[in-house]
Each structure stands twice: as structure tokens, then as C-alpha cells.
Amino acid sequence: METVNPLKPTEPRDRKLSIHVVTWNVASAAPPVDLDNLLQLDNQDPNLDVYVIGLQEMNCGIMSLLSDTAFEDPWSSFFMDVLSPLSFVKVSSVRMQGLLLLVFAKCQHLPFIQILCAKSTPTGLFGYWGNKGAVSICLKLHGYYISIINCHLPPHLANNDQRLEHFDWILEMQNFEGPDIPNILDHDLIVWFGDMNFRIEDFGLHFVREAVKSQCYSDLWEKDQLSIAKRCDTLLREFQEGPLLFPPTYKFDKNSNNYDTSEKKRKPAWTDRILWRLKRQPHTDSCTPRLPAPHFSLSLRSYISHMMYTISDHKPVTGTFDLELKPLVSVPLITLMPEGLWTMENAMLINYSLTPDFPSSPWDWIGLYKVYINISDIPETEDQFLLCYYSNSLRSVVGISNPFKIQPQAFLEEDPLGEVQPRI
């Protein structure tokens, strides 16, 4: 039998995380009542760790923007209300006019997610207006660099060159602040999605509709502008995409599954896409192919559209991925737990420890949060709580305690920001 030396550090085990990416041009509509199919919540065992949700054409009228500035926008509130009872936490968000990008993660992953930057890149009106462009979030996950980009590129069949120019411009503008953040092309993973507005060339309206009706999609792939560009553009070729085995997602009559019956009668097209790019190792010689970085791989589990949603002239598209990695960071920077029994009758003490290289700050804080559970899945129990350590320097939660209970007589006070804090 093999013995383990307790003094020798153990090699971190490979981890597998499931990521669900959503892209949807919502055409200024409010959230529908039920989005379970979109979020895979109607699946008996979705087994998801991270949600990445990107919307385009959210309502960005003056009154709506003013309201969303003062309060959470309706879509963000909806996703938070649905996902928080399932132990998901919103780790970051960024909005630019009609573009919104949200990242949710299971709470146990928070100590290993560091948000590095969230930014907007407008491309409308020569870069001065955000009706088109991209919003992006750069983060570190278990020590790996990941960039997430939600975009809305120029419309219309004839503007393909402009779309490709905007694609290059958005990529070029991802110059993240911070001395230790590498160039985006050196990130381990780029997930790029949105309403890219690429169309189907050459074929006429009736041919395209008949091909869609008979599900002869292969006839249309050859004339898809993005597929054509990927064959010609060296950088774009490095982005991967799943097979387009679902009907074109644009353009539909609202509140129906009928393609455009207006006077314009726009051709169906796969405008809504999800791409990804893994970091490549440098060439060792001219005969050696470029391979993904070791101990870090991404596989596509599903790539589908959701025809059941009719609030928009676009159908939403989702991609579900399995990310396998060997953690570069496998131990939380902070470990913490409540000290003793927490009640109103005694002082509420916290015991925590820091790793030697942790950049502590006087502006760090520890918050007390109620754990929300899905009552339909498990029997109702007493309330449980978590302690979370937030690092101001790293702008992230870097430590979470195990769930614990507070005796019923404990007195808790809610602060003006809505965060529950113990009165000591």
C-alpha cells in the first residue's frame, strides 16, 4: 500500500466545471414568465457551475436607462431571482445601453474567481455611441485568464466588411488595466458571442426558406458570412464554433415562429453565435502543430436555439461547455469560520487565516449572508448563513465559510446596502 507523506504538498486534482452561455437579442422586450428551458432548469440534473448571460437590444430609452441606473434592470433582477435560490451568486456584470453581460457562479467557486476588469467598447458613430459594440469581463478562474465578450455588430447583408472591422476593433481594444494582465490573445480562454449579424449570401429568400423548412442546413453553411470569413481570416480561424444544427435564429415575426412576413421579408440567418478560442502554445518548429495549453481544455456539450421563446424577432442560443483544468490556485486565500456559538447573548467572533502572499487591505470586509435553498428539493430547515471575506485589492470574494446556524434569539441588523451584518 502506498503511503502519503503529510509534509509533501499534494498535486491539485483536475477539476471539471460546466459553463452555460446564453446569447439573446431581446428586442426591447421584458423578461417572459418562464425561462427554465433557456437556463436548463427543466433538466432533471443540469449540473451547471457557471452561467454567462449576454443580452442585446435591451430597452434603452431615456426613462428605462434612468430607472435601471437607480435600480436593477428587470432582466438582471429576473435572473437573480431565479438563480439565487439555486446557490448561484452574481459575480460581475457590465452594461452599455442595450448590451448586458452577466456572470453567475455557484457560491463554492467564488474564492477561485477574481474579477480583473469589466469594460465597454462602443463602435457606433465611429466609436462614440454604444448602440453597437461590445461589453466584456476579464477574470481569473483557478489562476487561468478568461475573457468573456458579448457583442452586437452592424446589421444588413451588405455590411459584412464593416462587421469584420468591428470584430477586429473590439479585439484590439481589450487592453485591460493592470501590470499583470496579459494581452487578450495570451488569455487561456476567450468566449465571444452575441448578435453578430452575419447573413447568408447569394441564395434568394425562397431557396433559404425551403432549405430551412427541409432542414437542409448544409446547403446554407457554405454561404454563411461568418463561416466564409473563418476560412479566410487567420485570427478568426482560431475561434471555434459548434455545428449549426438548429434553424436560423433571425428574423421572426414577434409572438410567433414565422419568419419575417413584413414588406421587407428579410432572409433567415444565423445572426446569434457563440465562439471560443483556447490559448495556443508557440511553435517549437515548423512541423509541430499549435496545441491548446496543457491542463486546460474546453469541450462543447450542446449548441442549440430555443424556438419556444417568441418575445423577440430573434431566438436565443445557448452553448453548454465542460471546462477541464488543473488548478493553478487550489486553496482559498482566506479561510474563515465563526468562533463559538453565535447568539444575541455573546459576542460574535470570527476566526480567519490568510495565505502568506495575500494582499490584505484596511478596506477589506467580512459580510454575513443568508443561504437560500430550494425548498421544493429538500425539507425546510432552519436558516443557515455564510461568512464571506471580500478583498478590496482583488475586488473579489476570496474566502467563504461553511454554512452554519445562528440561534433564533440572535439579533441581526440589515445595513443600508441590504447586506446582513452581525451586531457585535
**67-98 residue pLDDT tens:** 545 458 999 999 999 999 998 999 999 999 99
Report the run of H or E that residue 421 belongs to, with start and end: strand 420-422
CATH assignment at residue 338: 2.60.40
Pick the last residue of a domain from 302, 325, 348: 325
418 pLDDT exceeds 90? no
Asked if 346 and 282 sit in the same domain, the reply is no
Pick the last residue of a domain from 262, 297, 325: 325
Kind of pairing between the strands at 365-371 and 50-56: unpaired
Asked if 129 and 91 sit in the same domain, the reply is yes
Asked if 258 and 373 sit in the same domain, the reply is no
Asked if 74 and 124 sit in the same domain, the reply is yes
Specify the pLDDT at position 300: 98
The candidate with the shortest Cα–Cα distance to 38, out of 17, 21, 19, is: 21
122 pLDDT exceeds 50? yes
From residue 216, how far is each of 207, 208, 219, 247 by CA, in Å?
A: 11, 9, 6, 10
Q: Minimum mean pLDDT among 30-34, 251-255, 290-294: which range?
A: 290-294
Into how many domains does the chain fold? 2
Residue pair 419/369 in contact by the 8 Å Cβ criterion:
yes
Asked whether residue 8 is assigned to any structural domain, the reply reads no
Half-sphere exposure of 1 (CA within 13 A, CB side): 3
Asked whether residue 252 is assigned to any structural domain, the reply reads yes
Specify the pLDDT at position 11: 62
From residue 419, how far is each of 75, 352, 366, 388, 413 by CA, in Å?
A: 21, 20, 11, 11, 9
The candidate with the shortest Cα–Cα distance to 55, out of 90, 92, 98, 19, is: 98
Specify the pLDDT at position 254: 96
Asked if 28 and 146 sit in the same domain, the reply is yes
Residue pair 38/306 in contact by the 8 Å Cβ criterion:
yes
Region 147-151: what's the mean pLDDT? 98
Amino acid identity of 166? Answer: H
Specify the pLDDT at position 219: 92
Rounded to 10°, the helix 160-172/225-232 angle is: 60
Specify the pLDDT at position 338: 87
Asked if 320 and 410 sit in the same domain, the reply is no
Say what the pTM is: 0.87
Tell me the residue range of the domain where 116 lies. 15-325
Confidence of residue 218 (pLDDT cuts 50, 70, 90): very high
Strand order in the sheet with 15-25: 88-96, 99-106, 50-56, 15-25, 317-325, 296-305
For 173: left if phi > 0, alpha if psi spans -120 to 50, otherwise beta; the answer is: alpha
Amino acid identity of 346? Answer: N
CATH assignment at residue 281: 3.60.10.10
Specify the pLDDT at position 377: 43
Question: Which tens digits make up the pLDDT trace of 168-202?
Answer: 999 999 987 766 789 999 999 999 999 999 999 99
